[in-house]
Amino acid sequence: MKVIVVGGVAGGMTTASQLRRIDHDAEIHVFEKGPHISFANCGLPYYISREVEKRTMLVERTPEDMEKRGIHAHVAHEVLDVNTKNKTISVKALETGEIKNIRYNKLVLSPGGRSVMLNALKNVPQSFVLQQLHQLDSIEDYIETHNVNEVVVVGTGFIGIEVTENFVRRGFKVTVIQHNNDIYSPIEPDMKEFMYDTLKEQGVDLKLNSEILEVDGNKATLNTGEILNAPLIIVAVGIKPNTTFLEDTDIKLEKGYIPVNEFGQTNIKDVYAVGDAILTHYTHVPEKPVNVALAWPAHRLAFVIANHISGNTEFKHDGFLSTSILEFFGHTIAQVGLSRKDLDKDTKYIDHIQANIAGYMKNPEKIHARLYYDDDGKILRGVFVGKEGVDKRLNVLATFMRTDGNIKNLINIEVGYAPPFGTPKDLLNMIGYKAI
Ligand code: FAD
């Protein structure tokens, strides 16, 4: 059996590795258009501050490593087309320009997403996105060759926030541009007021309702008329699925995303898809579609796909809860379940603020939690913000939502208690009591 994987990072390489582990005979080829495979996208922002001390630590595997494991990884090879009738892909070797048609028995698509570059910033030499290792290299080279110590970050989503924090930690003067007044939009406005204060405390110049209209040399002009110093610009305004090469194929796309079933199959039986480019559904609200562009979902589905390819139908994908967590200057911001936009506006919720540990201990820290639920008590969405203990509550809730998920039954959950770790009635128990 010949298995071809398109995309050699999170979803693609994990599927290939899982398959190799299960199936010792399959011939596995991975085609990656970039220069690297299997690097830690999630760690890229942390190299900026040198929290990740060495760049080499971001590279988990090289093509040579994979070859030793019996996986043929071809970097600088872009897949241009898929013919599902002949079961072939057309692939271009970017260094030579040679194009070949290659047959497959099973095809796995993990092309990920591409960061959006704003029109006004295209062809601006100091303007970058940060999604791939080679883009981090370009940013670092630019900083060094131009002796930069100032940056403008455009966008305040997950990556914009991480990049901002890491440049601050590196000692850069940081300006953040947000096109409206809602920074980190996944979180409810009244739960994130501290974010605005914290940015100020950290010396970040936040420009709300602002957009860059043009850049001239190192100066950027905003829609407000203000002219900024912009010797380096990082654009983090979202991603689009990398599926243009599939547009003229029989593989179904919905708004550019690839819908998949419980085995990760597309509408074509022998073609699977995983990662940022797929469309699936929420686990707890299956009628609602969702794209979860995060690393852990790619890993979960890769396992299911690898097993299915090898003939094991025991494992099934049943959607994602879309759990996410973000570090923000000593605060943690976390959520699970429906996004703000997927939640009906009048959904009822319980708000609760409680210390992470016993109040008589040193340095208790408040956690603000909000759980939305339906008339049957099913938890639809949970949000947590605070300095300590947020990850624990998030992870307990996410696990609970995968099993029972009824808000009233939170009264019964058991979490370990001693004063340094929590309270006898944990924050999540308290929300259960409030819901009864
Ligand atoms: P990718 O890992 O992006 O891999 C897709 C690969 O496919 C790319 O290398 C691309 O070059 C290649 N490709 C595309 N088209 C073709 C083609 N036609 N031919 C050949 N190759 C092709 N997730 C979390 O859960 N937690 C985090 O903290 C987190 N932090 C992040 C920080 C940053 C800066 C970034 C960029 C992402 C972060 N993520 C995080 C998201 C996570 O990295 C992605 O969800 C994950 O990498 C998606 O895996 P993927 O395989 O779909 O795409």
Find how far residue 354's CA is from the centre of its chain. Answer: 29
Strand order in the sheet with 219-222: 212-216, 219-222, 227-229
In this prediction the ipTM stands at: 0.99
Give residue 56's region: left, alpha or beta (phi > 0; psi -120 to 50).
alpha
What's the 317 CA to ligand 1 centre distance in angstroms?
Answer: 20
What pLDDT is attached to residue 404? 87
Atom of ligand 1 lying closest to residue 79 CA: 19
| 3-state class (DSSP) for residue 164 | helix
CA separation, residue 163 to residues 69, 211, 240, 399 (Å): 34, 18, 19, 29
What pLDDT is attached to residue 144? 98
What pLDDT is attached to residue 95? 97
Q: Computed from CA positions of residues 146, 149, 155, 156, in that sequence, does the dihedral angle turn out positive or negative?
A: positive
Q: Which parts of the chain sit beneath pLDDT 50?
A: none
Nearest CA among 45, 58, 9 for reference residue 160: 45
What pLDDT is attached to residue 6? 98
What's the 427 CA to ligand 1 centre distance in angstroms?
Answer: 35
Strand order in the sheet with 324-328: 324-328, 331-337, 379-386, 366-373, 348-355
Cβ(131) – ligand 1 distance below 6 Å: yes
Q: Given ligand 1 and candidates 6, 30, 42, which is best to mutate, with the most ligand atoms within 8 Å of its CB?
A: 42
Atom of ligand 1 lying closest to residue 277 CA: 52
What pLDDT is attached to residue 419? 97
Provide the residue type at 32 as one letter: E
What pLDDT is attached to residue 151? 98
Cβ atoms < 10 Å from Cβ of 262: 14
Task: Delineate the domains of the chain, giving CATH numbers in brackets.
Answer: 2-114+240-309 (3.50.50.60), 117-235 (3.50.50.60), 333-435 (3.30.390.30)
What's the 118 CA to ligand 1 centre distance in angstroms?
Answer: 20
Cβ(73) – ligand 1 distance below 6 Å: no
Give the C-alpha separation, 417 to 423, whole Å: 6
What pLDDT is attached to residue 250? 97
* β-pair type (324-328, 219-222): unpaired
pLDDT (tens digit per residue) in 98-126: 999 999 999 999 999 999 999 999 999 99
What pLDDT is attached to residue 370? 98
Residues labelled as active-site residues: 42
> 386 pairs with which residues across the strands?
332, 367
Using an 8 Å Cβ cutoff, are 319 and 384 in contact? no
Using an 8 Å Cβ cutoff, are 55 and 84 in contact? no
pLDDT (tens digit per residue) in 402-435: 998 999 999 999 999 999 999 999 999 999 999 9
What's the 278 CA to ligand 1 centre distance in angstroms?
Answer: 12
Cβ(33) – ligand 1 distance below 6 Å: yes
Give the C-alpha separation, 158 to 335, whole Å: 12
Cβ atoms < 10 Å from Cβ of 190: 9
What pLDDT is attached to residue 358? 96
